[in-house]
Structure 1
Amino acid sequence: MPFRAIRASRTDAGVTTELVMLEDSDLDVGEVTVRVDYSTINYKDGLAITNASPVIRRFPMIPGIDLAGVVEASDSAEFAAGDAVVLNGWGLSQTHDGGFAQKARVPADWLIKLPAGIDTRHAAAIGTAGYTAMLSVLALEHGGVTPDKGDVLVTGASGGVGSVAIALLAQLGYRVIASTGRPEEAEYLTALGAAEIIDRATLSQQGAPIATERWAGAIDTVGSHTLANVLAQTRYGGVVANCGLAQGVDLPGSVLPFILRGVTLAGIDSVNAPKAKRIEAWTRLASDLDLGKLDAMVTTVGLEEAPDVARSILSGSIRGRTVVDVNR
């Protein structure tokens, strides 16, 4: 039966997208066929659609680094028809067709069965951004950053990772400081659980190699000068989890926070994280994320709208999470 998909192609004018009708014979390789309910839009999807970064390594390609849906057919003993599943990262939208389609065929090892309490819409709303936020929280916990140790900073606070990170941290009892360049989102961030909001401009310029201690930990989605300043202001023994590069890929700081304060910089990779870590993250999301707060940060669009929204996310104008209803 034909299904709809967004397909990206490379032309002399750059990367273009179009809505196409495909057949099962067009599906990619894999042991499991998924009837996709929802995808979502992340910063990486914006990079892929605009070709601002060479995310897509094979053309034509169905973009979308996330998908959530129900197993239609399976050659794997691990999955059966009717199982609700989610897939984040791996090769989606890079070397393997992604989630901007009504159907996908994928390797069984890439899939996670949804934990009780999370349906496919909430799974897409969480998406790579929310799953990355949970990996970041786990890194803080692993480093010993507990709520009694002090404040936790979240940069890029109004974005997808930042929004979910604030909701998770607040639910777990942390006092959260939100850094944003969008002061008009103060009410939104406070509703998610932020106790204090600071202007990102206070962190985005070159600063001192080490500065007054302010927070016990941080989740940084920005990189560059922002990350260097976050490290410089982290308390003794603190942990900073970095998972993004919105400001840049450079790190123009010094070793002083590491050798004078014992600060840990934890790198967060959501694309190739092993399955056991993914299951841990999704299990914790089911228990620690307030789905009411998640719903408050979600906007839903149809499949045909997805490329335009993906382009917009790079400008920082998208708040929270955008779910793609592939059947709309």
Structure 2
Amino acid sequence: MTIPTLPDTYRALRVIQDGDERRAEFQTLPLSDLPDGEVLIEVSHSSLNYKDGLAVTGAAAILHHLPMTPGIDLAGRVIEDRSGTYAPGDAVILTGWGIGERQDGGYATHARAKAAWLVRQPEGTDASWAMSVGTAGFTAMLAVMALEDAGVRPEHGDVLVTGAAGGVGSTSVALLAHAGFTVTASTGRTEEEAYLRELGATSIISRDELPSLKRPLEKERWGGVVDCVGGATLAGAYASTRAHGALAVCGIASGIELKTTVFPLILRGVSLLGIDSVTCPQPRREAAWKRLARDLPAARLAGVTQTRGLSEVTTLAPQILAGQVRGRTVIDVNA
């Protein structure tokens, strides 16, 4: 195992305030500019998520102060750990906890973080695999685990995944199919039908179908739901979930409002399950990553993953906001 060395400087993609606009530029900075944290990490890979696209383009105020380094995921090796939890050379993963939003994130060659935020890379995996999973895959795994914990089983009927062609959605389809569920994928990208069926979806519905369901209680259809969209899509899925089914809610692509009634809750015993991948407790976090290593090995992700360099992120960011990025994008921070 190669032990990373302590450098004097690091390279980062920084979002700065330029007059009335925010823009991203590459900077070489002294290591002392990194935020506080017990663990210094040599970052090898990050990933591209919708939230990163918002941060890099300045389309939304994702970054709480400027200048800041975006990137809500990172993987690499420990250089030093003042807490004594990790040894130099240990491979670690960091998602959530406000990195790339409140604190400098993964779009840099080095990062600092609290030891309690990190997860050891599962045995037999590498940093590229970890970032092909990333926050999107981790969130999907938490959603699947939440449905299972709520009692949703394959024999209870089809499980619906909304926003199925996106990062969380596509990973959810693959994980649910692997677990034996019959998966229906909802998407606005009709051209992605073959891709979604390859992941394991048995049927595809248009994203327009769910928002059209307006009654408090619709015909019972779904044993469970992973919702990556929110808004009217979630309301329609909720109204059409079967008795004692559950919805794992983790997205806002269609909006943050939820206009519905309590009837599915009190007349069908339907459960709404919130998925928080940011401050997820450490035991749950470790369990999810171990299961991801088992259920979603690198070979299964190869067809839904592309690797691009950090130098390309400013070009990729508007593309993911426009819905032009399929599956997962791993970012090699040294390229």
TM range, smaller chain: over 0.9
The TM-score with structure 1 as length reference comes to 0.97
Rounded Cα–Cα distance in structure 1 between residues aligned with 2:125 and 2:113: 21
Q: Are residues 1:161 and 2:201 paired?
A: no
Structure 1 gaps, min length 5:
none
CA apart distance, 1:206: 5.7
- After TM superposition, the structure 1 stretch with the greater mean CA deviation from structure 2, 275-284 or 44-53, is 44-53
Using the alignment, how far apart are the partners of 1:215 and 1:290 within structure 2?
Answer: 28
Query: Among 271, 277, 282, which residue is 2:278 paired with?
Result: 271
1:290 to partner: Cα distance = 4.0
Q: What is the alpha-carbon distance in structure 2 between the residues aligned to residue 254 and residue 310 of structure 1?
A: 37
Matched, 1:283 2:284: no
Aligned to 1:302: 309
Q: After TM superposition, where is structure 1 displaced by more than 4 Å over at least 4 residues in a row?
A: none
Equivalent runs, 1:30-49 vs 2, <5 Å: 30-49=37-56
Q: Which residue of 2 aligns with 1:189?
A: 196
Secondary structure in 2 matching 1:104: strand
Question: Alpha carbon RMSD of aligned pairs, Å?
Answer: 1.2
What is residue 209 of structure 1 aligned with on the other side? 216
Cα contact 2:41–2:112 (8 A) shared by 1:
yes
Deviation at 1:50, TM superposition (A): 3.0
Counterparts of 1:88-167 in structure 2, within 5 Å, are 88-167=95-174
Letter in 2 for 1:325: D
For 2:211 and 2:328, locate their aligned partners in 1 and report how far apart those are by CA, in whole Å.
Answer: 24
Give the superposition deviation at 1:307: 2.6
Q: Which residue of the partner structure matches residue 6 of structure 1? A: 13
Work out whether residues 168 and 290 of structure 1, in 8 Å CA contact, stay in contact via their aligned partners in 2: no
- Matching residue of 2:255: 248
Distance 1:302 1:77 in 2: 32
The answer for the alignment partner of 1:221 in structure 2 is: 228
Partner amino acid, structure 2, of 1:24: L
**Secondary structure at the counterpart of residue 166 of structure 1:** helix
User: Which residue in 2 is equivalent to 1:314?
Assistant: 321
What is the aligned residue count?
A: 328
TM-score (ref. length: structure 2): 0.95
Which one is further off, 123-132 or 23-32?
23-32
Change (3 A) 1:309 1:273: same
Q: Secondary structure at the match of 1:301?
A: strand
Aligned partners of 1:115, 1:78: CA distance in 2, in Å? 16
Q: Which amino acid aligns with 1:45?
A: D
SS of the aligned residue for 1:201 comes to coil
Partner of 1:77: 84
Determine the C-alpha separation between the residues in 2 that align with 1:53 and 1:256.
35
Question: What pairs with 1:220-239 in structure 2 (closer than 5 Å)?
Answer: 220-239=227-246
State the alpha-carbon separation in 2 of the partners of residues 51 and 276 from structure 1.
34
Q: Is the contact made by 2:39 and 2:81 (CA closer than 8 Å) also made in structure 1?
A: yes
SS of the equivalent of 1:327 reads coil
Per-residue CA distance 1:130-185 (angstroms, 9 max, x = gap): 00000000110110001111111001101000111111111111111011111111
Answer with 279-288 or 129-138: which moved more: 279-288
Structure 2 gaps of 5+ residues are 1-6
Whole-Å separation in 2 of the counterparts to 1:147 and 1:206: 24
Deviations 1:177-214 (A, max 9, x none): 01111111111111111111111111134622211111
Secondary structure of the 2:11 match is strand
Corresponding position of 2:68: 61
Is this contact kept in 1: 2:23–2:58, CA < 8 A? Answer: no
Contact 1:167 1:290 in 2 (8 A): no
CA distance, structure 1, for counterparts of residue 322 and residue 138 of structure 2? 22
Structure 1 SS opposite 2:22: strand
- 3-state SS, counterpart of residue 26 of structure 2: strand
- Distance in 2 (CA, whole Å) between partners of 1:308 and 1:272 is 30
